[in-house]
Amino acid sequence: MSTTRIEINGIDKVRQYYLKMPKDLDRFVSRTNLNFMKSVQKTAKFLAPKDTGTLAEDIKLAPVRKGKNVKIWKISIVNPAAAPQEFGFVEHLAPILNSSKIPPGIYMVKKNTPFIRPAIEKNLSSFSQKLNNSVGRAIKK
């Protein structure tokens, strides 16, 4: 079984910037980051193709520790259908065994359905406003 790892790089620079700010800021921003990642996870589960079996259920959110109090959240998907659905593939015959839509069998698969990138794009537009609000609340405290 192969696994694919998708990471959003660049969040470390943002964390370095606001770690120089008041201590409450980290708590407020961490909560905002968690809420953002939960929203991305929920949207990705909604957008994931349902005929790939358990793809939607395999979208997990987990904390990753980096340093003493730094918490970074990651979304992981351990499912062989994840990478081809997200990044595309060539038309091929595929065994579909545990779909809720169609009976088990071998089917011609013609089209991929990205679900992580659209989920990030849909939630990213409101993230900067939410981050701005949480920074404002932390500074007021």
Q: What is the mean pLDDT of the chain?
A: 80
The Cβ of residue 136 has, within 10 Å, a number of other Cβ atoms equal to: 10
**Rounded CA separation 123/106 (Å):** 36
Residue the block writes with tokens 């959003």: 8
Instruction: Write the pLDDT tens digit of every residue in 3-59.
Output: 656 666 666 777 676 666 666 677 777 888 888 999 999 999 999 888 766 888 999
Which one has a higher pLDDT value, 43 or 133? 43
- Provide the whole-model pTM: 0.71
